[in-house]
Structure 1
Amino acid sequence: MIRVLIVDDHAIVRGGFRQFVADEPDMCVAAEASTGDETIRLVREQAFDVVMLDIAMPDKNGVDTLRVIKQVRPGQNVLILSGFPESQYAINLLRAGASGYLNKDCEPEDIIRAIRAVARGHRYLSETVVDALADGLDRPDAGKPHEQLSGREFQIFCKLAAGQIPTDIADELHLSVKTVSTYRARVLEKMRLANNADLTYYAIKNGLIQ
């Protein structure tokens, strides 16, 4: 039996995913969570074959939650299901340890197929992500600037783009303000941007924040 943890801050969305899983004889919803902190607590307490994780959550976003999950249980399989386009987030989150990425607009059959693949320890990549990865191999300079960031750089980029200041980011991630400022400088250099306003504009333009 594939034990699934469903994470989404909308009850109606969790209900839809729960029904998809319940219809399969080899799967069960072992638990549900609506926040990042609740997800991390459950992962610490229980073993799940697959964590279905949303990106946009009120307390701790999916990027942060994924990073902590991989620290708590390095082998945990995490399938990202998000309303954000695959072409924007997928590569960075796969690099950060996600086992797969699907847009919420996908068909139920795709979700079930992805859960089974991820539960077996495989990566699940949609055609959109495969095409993006292939473009990166064929044309190394063709990727978007944010796709060149490391996992930690991308995490801090998202927070800066959302308007958080270095002091708050440092407290949240248990880093020094100097370390956050160093990451900020790297992000700006890699993305060839000048300041935080440019980061926010870039994130909005590319559908990384709403």
Structure 2
Amino acid sequence: MIRVGICDDHAVVRAGLKQYLSEHVDVRVTGEACNGVQALELVRAGDIDVLLMDISMPDQSGVDALKAIKARFPDLSVLILSGFPEAHYATNLLRLGASGYLNKECDPEEIVKAIRTVSMGRKYISQSVAMLLAEGAAGGLERPPHELLSERELQVFLRLAKGETVGSMAEAMFLSVKTVSTYRTRVLEKLKLSSNSDLTYYAMTNGLIQ
């Protein structure tokens, strides 16, 4: 029996994953967390073999949580399940100790396959991530500007590109309006753009939003 902990700040996502995983006789969800702090507490309890974790959470990013968890529990398998495309974080998170990286749009059966793989102490590398790793090993092409954004800058960028206001973003991300505005300014500077409509166009042409 593979004991799985789920960490995601959306209750509906946790519920959906728990329901789906319950259909597999060799997998059992033994704990849930909604942020990085709770994830660390879940791991400390010692009742999980695999932690299935998002990286976009309001109080502590999954990236920081991963670093903290791997520093204390280096042998724990942490499988990242993110809404961000693999190109944004996969290779970096694997270097930080993640056992695998999946996009939330993947086939549900792939999640189970990945859980089974990492529970045996192996890395789960999807075809798209394998291509990224191969490109990196070969030198690859020059990275597009959005790949140079920090995690928080990327979150702000994608929310702005989808039409969210600074005010609503500040509330949803538990940040001040001033802080979100500062992130917006940094994003525009790094991408060499001048308006929110430019951000939307950039995101659409680079396949970051539909």
Is TM-score (shorter-chain normalized) higher than 0.5? yes
Q: Distance in 1 between matches of 2:189 and 2:52?
A: 28
> 2:30–2:47: 8 Å Cα contact kept in structure 1?
no
The aligned residue for residue 13 of structure 1 is: 13
Q: In the superposition, relative to structure 1, how do residues 199 and 22 fare at CA in structure 2: closer, same or farther (>3 Å)?
A: farther
| Deviations, residues 16-37 of structure 1 (Å, cap 9, x unaligned) | 1101211111110010011111
Other-structure match for 2:35: 35
- Aligned counterparts, 1:188-199, within 5 A: 196-197=186-187
Give the distance between the partners of 1:196 and 1:122, measured in 2 at CA.
38
Structure 1 residue aligned with 2:151: 158
1:162 and 1:131, CA in 2 relative to 1: closer, same or farther beyond 3 A? closer
8 A contact 2:40–2:69 mirrored in 1: yes
Distance 1:21 1:161, change over 3 A: closer
The alpha-carbon deviation at position 108 of structure 1 amounts to 1.2
Over 3 Å counting, the alpha-carbon distance change for 1:197 and 1:43 in structure 2 is same
Amino acid at match of 2:88: Q
CA distance in 2 between partners of 1:113 and 1:143 (Å): 33
**Distance change (3 Å), C-alpha of 1:161 and 1:26:** closer
How much does 1:45 deviate? 2.1
What does residue 111 of structure 1 align with? 111
Q: Deviations over 1:55-81 (max 9, x none)?
A: 111110111110101012011100000
Q: Structure 1 length as normaliser, TM-score?
A: 0.71
How many residue pairs match? The answer is 170
Give TM-score, length-normalised by structure 2: 0.71
Partner of 2:45: 45
- Ranges in structure 2 where 5+ consecutive residues have no aligned partner: 157-184, 193-198
Residue pair 2:90, 2:101 contacting (<8 A) in 1 also: yes
Q: In structure 1, list runs of 5 or more residues that go unmatched.
A: 164-194
Report the Cα offset of residue 137 of structure 1: 2.4
Q: Identity of counterpart residues, as a percentage?
A: 44
Cα gap change, 1:160 to 1:23, in 2 (>3 Å): closer
- 1-side partners of 2:33 and 2:135: how far apart? 36
Shift of the alpha carbon at 1:134? 1.4
For residue 123 of structure 2, give the secondary structure of its aligned residue in structure 1. Answer: coil
Is residue 115 of structure 2 the alignment partner of residue 122 of structure 1? no
Aligned amino acid, residue 5 of structure 2: L
CA RMSD of aligned residues (A): 2.9
Q: 1:143 to 1:134 in 2, by over 3 A?
A: farther
Partner deviation per Cα, 1:93-131 (whole Å, 9 max, x = no partner) = 001110000001111110000000010011111111011
Q: Which residue of 1 aligns with 2:143?
A: 144
CA distance in 2: counterparts of 1:137 and 1:11, whole angstroms: 38
Give distance in 2, aligned partners of 1:54 and 1:87: 15
